[in-house]
Amino acid sequence: MSIPFDRTNFVYFWLTKIIQFLLKLMGQMLRPWKTILNIELGSHKSVFQQIADGIIGEIKKGRLKPGMSLPGSRILAADIGVNRKTVVLAYEELMAEGWLETAYKKGTFVSEKLPKQKERRRQRNEESISSVKNFSFTAFGSGMPASVNSAVPLIVFNDGLPDVKLAPLDELARAYKRIFQQKARWRMLGYANERGEERLRTAISTMLTMDRGLSFGIGQICITRGSQMALYLTAQILIKPGDVVAMETPGYRPAFEAFKHAGASIEAVEIDEQGIRIAELEQLCRKGQLKAVYVTPHHQFPTTVSMKADRRLQLLALSNQYGFAIVEDDYDHDYHFGLRSLLPLASYDQAENVIYISSLSKLIAPAVRVGYVAGPASFIDSLAALRMTIDRQGDPVMENAVAELMEEGIVNKHAKRALGIYRDRRSLMSKYLDQYLKEKADYQLPEGGLAFWLRFKQPVDTIAFSELLLEHGVQVISTERFSFNGKPLNALRLGYAALDEAELERGIQIIASLLP
């Protein structure tokens, strides 16, 4: 019995086949998966994770849009050359995370619930145009010289850093190793005291008593990651918006910024060969409430001037009379070339209102971030509590290692050795300044510290001059940033301690040759 020919069914059958073929072909053309998903079989990331991350990337870029169909697991597996189970695992992961969704007997799709990705538009110059509004923030700049790749060997006159090649690294490494070999070493891997390790605070308390005439107990000391953190925390605890803070000018720019961002109104007070001018301070006190004075009395930054005894007594008396705090930054106490170092302001009997800040970073090495604040116990309580909000604690292992070096006298021995070397380099620096720059600049031989303050006889824009020097292989810090009252300084602070004899001479020669 013959079956009658049904033209309608015949045409419908083949049209369906052709449409299915064309849809499959278009799908392959629209989804070049081999190029979209780059699979690295040797990668540390599993293949299913690479597939999932690749699809997420395409969704974020907007090439896979909400509702768009994805190829079946068999097709995608064949396209990229992996096992089908791997693709299934990737799809399941993406569905669990909400990137994909599935419809019964229809397939897998990009989720419709995702936020629409804005298409990227490009100008003719290929620069992206974004209509997204970005959040605002406070911009900060370090003001320090940028690192430079130069064919000329760079001679760096820093702001007075020590020579890290002299650091007692072997002794520090051995102390570090011994700490990790202790049976109870696990105790140092948990949370520790936010004030710092008691062992280190005890060692610092002993050093301050024996060497600097200070009597701070361990409850009056808080360890920080360098003196800059100590200064920042002090400013935040001490200052309320609108409080008046007097600062030396020229002075230490990071201190200026710390007080400024704490909300202080800064009053710049000139210095002379004796230190900060007390008469100007007294005028500020009479005009209104002065909250604090920031000073570097041992070796003033940047001029290296040491504040003399009578000026110190006047400053302390003024503080007690008007009730303002003195923030004493004793950043390089150990490097003094006289018969003995001047004792800190905080050691005087009249020092009722002194907050003392110092550091071991310049003594050992800048990378050893150990600073500290010493002051009234209640003040240190507040400072330690604030410290927890930005830095839960310091480095207990490093702090214990440094404490061990202090207890064994290694730090003191290193300081004496380094001081002798720096004394010789100071003499060489003075020699070359006299030899090459006597006609163009003046200086006073610093009583201590690791830098010279060179004053030019003719006006010099140190910003432009520092850029010119850099082109000739010498890096200096432009000193315009040290002036807080807008007056030109016509000077450079040249740190010499990290340079050898040849570098010192060559550096001074280049400076001399480029000065007008």
- Please check whether residues 219 and 102 belong to one and the same domain: no
Among 31-35, 289-293, 402-406, top mean pLDDT goes to 289-293
- Please check whether residues 430 and 401 belong to one and the same domain: no
Higher pLDDT pick, 15 / 374:
374
- Please check whether residues 291 and 421 belong to one and the same domain: no
- Please check whether residues 485 and 338 belong to one and the same domain: no
- Please check whether residues 362 and 432 belong to one and the same domain: no
Higher pLDDT pick, 7 / 93:
93
Kindly indicate the confidence band of residue 45, based on its pLDDT and cuts at 50, 70 and 90.
confident
Kindly indicate the confidence band of residue 122, based on its pLDDT and cuts at 50, 70 and 90.
very low
d(CA 267, CA 245): 6
d(CA 315, CA 312): 5
| 134 inside domain | no
Over residues 303-314, the pLDDT tens digits come to: 999 998 899 999
Is-above-0.85 flag for pTM?
Answer: no
Print the domain residue range for 312. Answer: 190-407
Place of tokens 């905080």: 346
Total domain count, the chain:
3
Closest by Cα among 162, 169, 168 to 498: 162
CA atoms within 13 A on the CB side of 65: 5
Residue percentage of the chain with pLDDT more than 70:
82
- Please check whether residues 342 and 439 belong to one and the same domain: no
Higher pLDDT pick, 231 / 14:
231
Question: Residue 387: CB partners within 8 Å, gap ≥ 6?
Answer: 194, 222, 224, 229, 233
Tell me the pairing of strands 107-110 and 371-374. Answer: unpaired
- Please check whether residues 444 and 394 belong to one and the same domain: no
| CB-count exposure of residue 122 (10 Å: 0-12, 13-18, 19+) | exposed
Over residues 156-190, the pLDDT tens digits come to: 999 888 888 888 878 888 887 877 776 555 555 56
Largest CA distance in the chain: 131
d(CA 307, CA 246): 16
- Please check whether residues 442 and 346 belong to one and the same domain: no
- Please check whether residues 399 and 443 belong to one and the same domain: no
Q: Is the pLDDT of residue 490 over 90?
A: yes
Over residues 65-118, the pLDDT tens digits come to: 888 888 888 888 888 888 888 888 888 888 888 888 888 777 888 888 775 544
| 121 inside domain | no
DSSP code string of 46-85: -HHHHHHHHHHHHHHHTSS-TTPEEPPHHHHHHHHT--HH
- Please check whether residues 221 and 160 belong to one and the same domain: no
Closest by Cα among 305, 304, 280 to 293: 280
- Please check whether residues 447 and 308 belong to one and the same domain: no
| 120 inside domain | no
- Please check whether residues 402 and 445 belong to one and the same domain: no
Kindly indicate the confidence band of residue 129, based on its pLDDT and cuts at 50, 70 and 90.
very low
Closest by Cα among 421, 423, 412 to 363: 412
